[in-house]
Amino acid sequence: MAQEEVTQSHVSFRDVKGKYTGLFAWIFSTDHKRVGLLYLYSIITFFLTGVVLGIFMKLELMAPGRTVMDAATYNAIFTPHGVIMIFLVVVPGLPAIFGNFMLPIMIGAKDVAFPKLNLLSWWVYALGAIVALSSLFMAGGPPDTGWTFYAPYSFKTNTNMLPAVIGAFILGFSSILTGINFIVTIHRMRAPGMTWFKMPLFPWTLYGTAWIQILATPIVGITLLMIVGERILNIGFFDPALGGDPILYQHLFWIYSHPAVYIMILPAMGAISEIIPTFANKTIFGYKAIVISTLAIAFVGYFVWGHHMFTAGMSGTALYVFSLLTFLVAI
């Protein structure tokens, strides 16, 4: 009898049917709703962490000169705050939480196309977060480059920048896996009779977002690897002393980071497009126009990164082209 109790104590995280229980039932669940809630709990935790760091920043800015911290400490708080809010909260927020929870329900599917891949995306997200935030506790201090990791700061700082960069690189895989899952789910698992133009608008915005996640995220991933290569292997990608060009980093970074703006906002537009007609008890006006404009934003968004760099020394022609495309994507 005692032996049975000992044996059961070793497998207490499973029930009599062999299924996981308690916390393990959550972190090993492939149910799309539970994965969505895992993202929700994780993102709320990181959001609150980012808020605390932001409060310290605001306390420092309350008055001229030093208030509660010196300039180096401010930079060391500002960078993790930005990494948390951008890479851990805003970019994955709506797609990972509401996309995972609502997409299969709204298109009549039992789950996403690849449930195990979906769970893996959360595990990768958690791993990336742990690696990125480990820089806060390592000798040398948190990174002080800003969340954009701009050159030349990224290869000249003596702080712990590499864990933050590698963590952001890992987080990119979570975004890519989510995008793949959504696209395949929408293509292959819509309910019978649900044609493309009968699909609700929120899945449409998730569809456009997913293409951005798949096509744009590898660019920032490669860019972050180039920073790692610059710091560890002394390869001159961005350092002028080694034949590199810091402006190249800006181009590569914003080629991803401007489409990332639409990763943040397109699902929000889709959510609003569902909520307002529902509570107004009206059919939304211009359904097809909204669908087409959603896909157009996802497409044109790749070509407007230069408006982040108007003072970087581009040619007059480039300025005009990027200005025109920026007007176009807004319209």
Q: What is the CATH number of the domain that holds 208?
A: 1.20.210.10
CA dist 229 and 270 (Å) reads 39
For the entire predicted model, the pTM comes to: 0.89
Nearest partner of 217 among 314, 128, 107, judged by Cα: 128
- Structural domain that includes position 236: 31-330
Residue 302: inside a domain: yes
Q: Identify whether 7 is part of a domain.
A: no
Pairwise pLDDT comparison (72 vs 271), residue with the higher score: 271
Q: What is the mean pLDDT of the chain?
A: 91
Please answer whether residues 92 and 168 qualify as being in contact, where contact means their C-beta atoms are separated by less than 8 angstroms: no
Q: How many residues does the chain have?
A: 331
CA gap 199, 103 in Å, rounded? 11
Q: List the alpha helices (DSSP H) in 61-200.
A: 71-83, 91-94, 100-107, 115-134, 153-156, 162-188
For residue 19, tell me if it sits in a domain.
Answer: no
As for how many domains the chain has, the answer is: 1
User: Which tens digits make up the pLDDT trace of 280-299?
Assistant: 999 999 999 999 999 999 99
Q: For the chain, how big is the Rg over CA atoms in Å?
A: 23
Residue 12 lies inside a defined structural domain of this protein:
no
pLDDT at 89 over 60: yes
Strand partners, 14: 20
List C-alpha distances in Å: 2 to 5, 7, 11, 12: 5, 9, 15, 15
In a domain, 26, yes or no: no
The Cα–Cα gap between 32 and 125 comes to 16
Residue 93 lies in a domain: yes
| pLDDT score at 16 | 53
Buried b (16+ CB within 10 A) or exposed e, 46-74: bbebbeebbebeeebeeeeeeeeeeeebb
Does a structural domain hold residue 163?
A: yes
Q: Supply the pLDDT for residue 273.
A: 94
Domain membership flag for residue 173? yes
Q: For residue 255, give the nearest of 307, 199, 295, 216 by alpha carbon.
A: 216
pLDDT at 266 over 90: yes
Q: Report the alpha-carbon angle 292-323-154, nearest 5.
A: 100
Give kind and range of the element (H or E) at residue 227: helix 201-233
As a whole number, mean pLDDT of residues 305-319 equals 91
